[in-house]
Amino acid sequence: MATEQQYLNSLRGVGSRAVAVQNVALTVAGNTTVAGTYTVPPGIWLESVTIETPTAISGTPTSCLVRVGSTLHGQEIVADVDAKSQGHIASTIVAAFDKIAALAAASTIFIEVTTSGGTSSAGTINTLVRYAAPVV
């Protein structure tokens, strides 16, 4: 008798991939840089990076720039995107980044928010990393 996973794999087909999303939440507090990491599962293909600001960042900051890279302070995946206002941003992945092969050797994605201007900036910015992983 097949396991549930084996049955689902038979429906998906050989070489199919399951889609998943992981959130990295960063809390802004003043004019600082806040960073977080996302551990890359083996064999993933990057599909998208979405930035969600559930409530506008308080303190009227000039900017809250979100960047995503394969190195700390890097912008190899998503270059600076201002996420100070409430809303949803379907960020653009840098054209030179290979969404299929580029993460094969990486084990971590770095996500960073740099806040500047205004006073007493505070709030949360969520970064949703959507990826396709091999079905096992």
Within 13 A of 82's CA, how many CA atoms are on the CB side?
8
pTM above 0.85, yes or no: no
Tens-digit pLDDT profile for the chain (136 aa)?
656 655 655 555 555 667 888 999 999 998 999 999 998 888 888 999 999 999 999 998 999 999 999 899 999 999 999 999 999 999 999 999 988 888 877 789 999 999 998 888 999 999 999 988 876 6
128 vs 73: CA distance, rounded Å: 18
Q: Is residue 67 part of a domain?
A: yes
Q: Is residue 100 part of a domain?
A: yes
Tell me which residue range forms the domain holding 30: 17-134
95 vs 18: CA distance, rounded Å: 24
59 vs 2: CA distance, rounded Å: 57
Q: Rounded to 5 degrees, what angle do the CA atoms 129, 52, 48 make?
A: 30
What CATH number is given to the structural domain containing 71? 2.60.120
